[in-house]
Amino acid sequence: MARVVLITQANPEDTATFRNIFEEWGDAVVTAENLDDLGNKLRTFTPELIVLDIAFFGKDWAKRLPTVRNRLPNTDILFTHSTPDTIPEVLLEEYKRWGILTGPFTRYGVRMALQEGYTQIKGEKAERPNIRFPLRLKLTWPYFLLALVITMVTAFLVTQVVFDSIEERFTNQLIEAGKLSSEWMVTEETRLLESLRLVANTQGLAEAMQANDAETLRELSLPLAVNNQLDSLELLTTQGLSVLALRHREGGGLEEYEAVRGESVYASWDFVQAVMAQSDDGIGDKYAGLAQADWGDYFYISGPVYAEDGALAGIILVGTRLENLVQGMRAATFAQTTIYDMNGQPLASTFLESRDIGPEQYVQALSEQDSNSLVNNVIISGIEYSEMLGPLEVRQDADLGVLGVAIPQNFLINTSLLTRAQIMGVLLAALLLIVLIGYFLASRISAPLRQLMRASNEVARGNLRVELEQSGSDEVTALTYYFNRMVDSLRHSNLEILEAYESSLEGWSRALTLRDHKTDEHSRRVLDLTMRMARALNLNEQELMEIRRGALLHDIGKMAIPDRILLKPGALTAEERQMIEKHPQYAYEMLRQIPFLQKATEIPYAHHEKWDGTGYPRGLKGENIPLSARIFAIADVFDALSSDRPYRRAWPETKVLTYIQRHRGTHFDPKLVDLFLQLNGSLFQELLEQADRETRKKFLSQAMGNEH
């Protein structure tokens, strides 16, 4: 069953490449130009596969990919990137982690990426040159001295670590986790404040809130909610009634928000009442609070929206689910995090099994916050934890609840900040020393490696005439020797493959001749005419090779036509004509799965298309018809009308040329007709004889550097 594939690539050429690949596999392909277009299309349908270029995410792509994956849990995503020839080593693991497919993109590469497989090419065994001065000897001695120094210093530092107080380090780690959680809370509050200000200052929002216009509010605020990844955006009247509420569906896609209105519970919340009363807390008119509502438990920031005349036009709430809040703290601190209400009951927790602390400990944690931290030893899911309780503070040091941060007591020993700083200082000094020592060695030793790298790149681009000069007697010299042998083997193998390709094509063409002997003569003449015109257009050798292959196989689809129709001596019936016109489609189906004939398929598939779009099988028009097929169409018709057929005699050459001129701009490309008529007096008086094998081998050898 065909998949629906949504392709979003920054490079239009990559888009075309992926479209061709998936359409050839029978998939339904939809394209999106950018992330906005992608979001619009995802709102209308859900594809089975998304092919997404990470270039849209800029330098922060590694941070944004998890969000994309989480928002689309039921859709396969193939991340891609048109990278340069080499990927920085620091990014290799990230590329592997996310399965990022890098360019150039091929059917084989896409298939293997989707199947998570790989191939390994093994080289031929050869006798190794004698190695007198191994690279190990050249590189080892300076690093041995460096390793000795680092070992001695490290031993001293490790001794300090062992004798440090384990209990003190554990307490410091617990305190540090609490500080990080509080800092994360400040960061989240700042983010929500910035989002609130952005919404409040949106042009037209105040007027829409005064008019109770929910539809306009949705159009203005939904993009802001999506771009700022808000879990909740509530727009209220000055009396605290809901005009519009946008809430992100839990586990939904980036833009999956549900819109509701008419709820009245907000007026009972103190942080909403403060805005309704137009109060000021000393640093502004924004307030924070925790809310337990039918739609979930949230941390909200509230603020006013003012009309142009300065009057209060409405109230805005921006919020984050408490579950997302504690998960964010967990990711930042690696500690289990819990938020407790005033009764000591957990509102949200990263523990699989939550526990309550009771109202007494809740009060104690808040009352002793300035003197010391309350620490409890608890057992959860069979694991012993130490949990530190402290206030959940927001603006103006307001306490919204109690925040619990827990670390398992069987933790791995972590060094203190001072010890870590010492270790980092030593390591940085060691790295600097390595760079200074290795610079001189690298400049001498890596020179032949850089030469080998450049040569390898040339081979990867298809240049098989590369040969490196061998000098020295180490492993690099041996590698150079193997490289030259490999390239020489590839050069000969490539030539043999090209010759086999051409022999196969000629064999297929002769197979059709066995059914219709006139086809042989027609194919040979049309091939010569086509190649003459192609050379007159100054096409390169690779293009000429593809045109020659396509011309040889132009009627290969007739292999599927019954003899009673193909060899019929008289005129064809309408039904027989309909059958004969299927041969381009048959040719395409026969050849499309053969990689080296992808370009050559243009002529068999499109040589019966017409310039005005009335041809078959696809009704292509103008320059949408491949150039090779437009060239071949003129040569094909010229030879067909100039030759005897079972149902008519050959036309005189003047009549044929008149026919081609008359159909200039309808059947044929006008510019190519002009070229054909210009060349006719000199070009077609001396048709080339069939190229002998030596000439063909020379042609293939010249083109071999471009074939891979």
Q: Which amino acid is at 522?
A: H
Handedness of CA 105, 106, 107, 111 (dihedral sign): negative
627 in any annotated domain: yes
181 in any annotated domain: yes
439 in any annotated domain: no
Rounded CA separation 91/85 (Å): 14
pLDDT of residue 135: 56
426 in any annotated domain: no
pLDDT of residue 701: 42
- Element (H or E) spanning 49, and its range? strand 49-53
Q: Last residue of some domain: 84, 115, 146?
A: 115
Q: How many domains does the chain have?
A: 3
Q: Last residue of some domain: 375, 391, 410?
A: 410
Contact 65/54 with Cβ under 8 angstroms?
yes
Q: Last residue of some domain: 366, 381, 410?
A: 410
485 in any annotated domain: no
Same domain? For 204 and 331 the reply is: yes
392 in any annotated domain: yes
Q: What DSSP character marks residue 664?
A: B
Same domain? For 627 and 698 the reply is: yes
CATH number at residue 306: 3.30.450.20
Please give the full DSSP string across 444-501, using - where no structure is assigned.
HHHHHHHHHHHHHHHHHTT-----PPP-SSSHHHHHHHHHHHHHHHHHHHHHHHHHHH
Same domain? For 76 and 184 the reply is: no
Please give the full DSSP string across 382-431, using - where no structure is assigned.
TEEEEEEEEEEE-GGG-EEEEEEEEEETTPPP---HHHHHHHHHHHHHHH
Same domain? For 392 and 527 the reply is: no
Q: Per-block average pLDDT, block size 10, for the chain (708 residues)?
A: 81 89 78 91 90 88 86 87 62 74 75 53 40 58 68 67 64 85 90 93 92 92 92 93 92 88 90 90 86 92 92 94 92 90 89 85 81 82 87 81 87 53 70 69 70 80 75 76 80 65 67 61 80 87 85 86 81 87 90 81 93 94 94 92 78 89 94 86 39 36 38
pLDDT of residue 174: 85
CATH number at residue 535: 1.10.3210.10
Length of the chain: 708
Q: Which range marks the domain in which residue 288 is found? A: 165-410
Rounded CA separation 515/535 (Å): 31
Please give the full DSSP string across 354-383, using - where no structure is assigned.
----HHHHHHHHHHTTTT--EEEEEEETTE
Rounded CA separation 239/400 (Å): 24
pLDDT of residue 190: 92
Strand partners, 257: 248
Edge-first strand listing for the sheet containing 374-380? 346-349, 336-340, 399-408, 383-393, 374-380
Same domain? For 67 and 188 the reply is: no
88 in any annotated domain: yes
